[in-house]
Amino acid sequence: MAKIISISDTGRMWKEFYILRIEFDNHDSGEALAKSTDPYYKVGDEVEYTKNERGGIKIQKDQTPYQNQNTSSYNSGASNDKSEQIARAVAFKGAIDLVSSGKINVTNIVEFVDKYLPVLTGETKNDSYKDHFEDKPKTEDLPF
């Protein structure tokens, strides 16, 4: 892993990609392709990268702190974790469907999403079965 100390646009392009010059704190450098002059990696990021024989650099996307930053324009104030964003979108879509069918009021959307987000992300209590069934006193008068 190395820290990026410099990112500069070379002014050249290859097909639809910008060619950027990247310099690292380990005195290594090279050129990387990016879809914009403002890539997902930033100066100061600790990254893992590979370098080919022509000096081309490929920065490993899953190793950058990008996923932990609040850079997303659609961030809901919670973590920027992709799976949580997807789960939140699913819960929101479910709430919108319930509003359009008249099952809940539009003012209850936030409450619905907050209530069901832990279910979608798997953060519900593992002992819910125990809470509901095993802690209750057993009665012999059940019909089954």
pLDDT at 21: 96
Domain borders along the chain are 2-67, 82-133
Residues of the chain below pLDDT 70 = 62-81, 124-144
Radius of gyration of the chain (CA): 25
Is this structure's pTM higher than 0.95? no
CA distances from 94 to 82, 98, 106, 115 (A): 18, 6, 12, 12
Query: Tell me, what amino acid is at 4?
Result: I
Tell me the C-alpha distance between 94 and 74, whole Å. 18
**pLDDT for the residue 47:** 92
Residue 119 CB neighbour total at 10 angstroms = 11
Among the listed residues 119, 111, 112, 10, the one whose alpha carbon sits nearest the alpha carbon of residue 57 = 10
Q: Note the pLDDT tens digit of each residue in 43-66.
A: 999 999 999 999 899 998 764 444
